[in-house]
Amino acid sequence: MRVAMISVHTSPLEQPGTGDAGGMNVYVLELSRALVRRGAEVEIYTRATSSAQPKAVDAEPGIKVVHIPAGPFEGLDKNDLPGQLCAFAAGVLRAEAHRPEDWYDVVHAHYWLSGQVGWLATERWDVPLVHSMHTMARVKNAALAPGDRPEPMVRIVGEEQVVAEADALVASTEQEADDLTSWYGAERSRVHVVPPGVDTQLFSPLPEAAGGRAVLRERLGLPAGRDVVLFAGRIQLLKGPDVLVRALSAWPAGRRRPLLVVLGGASGTRTAVRELEALAWQEGVSDDVLVRPAVPQDELAGWFRAADLVAVPSHNESFGLVAAEALASGTPVVAAAVGGLRTVVADGESGALVPGHDPARWARTLADLLADEQRRARMARAARASAARFSWDHAAGEMLQVYEAARRRHADSRGVPGPVNIA
């Protein structure tokens, strides 16, 4: 099966945790890898962000990344990209034009911008459109962080159009499937729940060895004998790192504050990192906050293992890949009780779910867990087991079935004989 993946605003080759790169980058790349292991060929179309980028890169055997020029290479915010969709779509069609007819079997678009391009491409190529929302404007606007800007109407209308036109919609959780039907009126028969996976070979617990964590922490430059709470992700209001900084200032009296490590880069505004550091200074906890740039996946696994707790205080998450990767690494997760995090984190078993974003409540939850080593050890054991539910190979198998369902629906809509199953 030949699959055209479309990821307009962020490339799977970019470093997750910076700019617009995040869990979706990991999702697109890891799903593509798993599809290739099952015999598929994948080409990923993404916007070129540098004149030095080659037109196409063979990222791995079976996976090609195609860079499409659309607008200025640099300086475009994600909110500016709707004005470049026509140029991007033209570039995609031009790149495919030299291919034989019926080259692709399916188009899988990620995020609403890609869905708009995929809609046009599938009409031109007469193939089915499969779409993954990843986040939804209506859901996000209903749970905005204080001070955050709501998503614009152009996105809401764009999402509604893609939901109406896609042959299949992919949700990561049952909650996301419900959101698609309740917020966007999606036909439930076209919504397929396919949980993302986790690379459990890369994200695995620290081996049982004398001094293992101490050695790891020394290598990472972390202080010995101090509790460590880790936040990994883009530094933006949606992800809630400010909640953790404020929680430190609301820490229960008589208990030593942990070191809060923030791994990530600015997103949405280039001053986000400085603003977070300024907030720590205003709250009087600068000495308790360590901000470091985002790191590659293999290094991130080490940070997860070194932490006592991983905190995910997002205001909205369609799934929560960071939480799943942390659990696979054997580290309990304290997460906001929102979206897909309620599926990933088993409250009281592999971690704790915190209702709302009140800093004092977050402080109490974190402090109580850090003070109870036996409880954390039980959670750590349950964490690894719970993450085993999420497999990229299983996700790829389910996705191939979604592609076949989309092909059947597409053929039926045109009154032609259905395709032969090639999954």
* Binding site feature residues for Mg(2+): 304-305, 307, 331
Give the integer Cα–Cα distance in Å for 115 and 130. 9
Q: What is the DSSP letter of 235?
A: B
Give the integer Cα–Cα distance in Å for 78 and 76. 6
Here the tokens at position 46 are: 């993404």
Location of structure tokens 């799903």: 31
Q: Count of residues for the chain? A: 423
Q: What is the DSSP letter of 211?
A: T
Contact (Cβ atoms closer than 8 angstroms) between residue 301 and residue 277 = no
Which residue in 374, 375, 373 sits closest to 351, CA to CA? 375
Give the integer Cα–Cα distance in Å for 28 and 418. 28
Binding residues for UDP-N-acetyl-alpha-D-glucosamine are 15-16, 23, 234, 239, 295, 317, 325
Binding residues are 9, 15-16, 20-25, 78, 111, 135, 155, 234, 239, 295, 304-305, 307, 317, 325, 331
Q: What are phi and psi of 290, to 5 degrees?
A: -120, 115
Location of structure tokens 């080659």: 54
Binding residues for 1D-myo-inositol 3-phosphate are 9, 20-25, 78, 111, 135, 155
SS3 (DSSP) at 265? coil
Give the integer Cα–Cα distance in Å for 362 and 10. 32
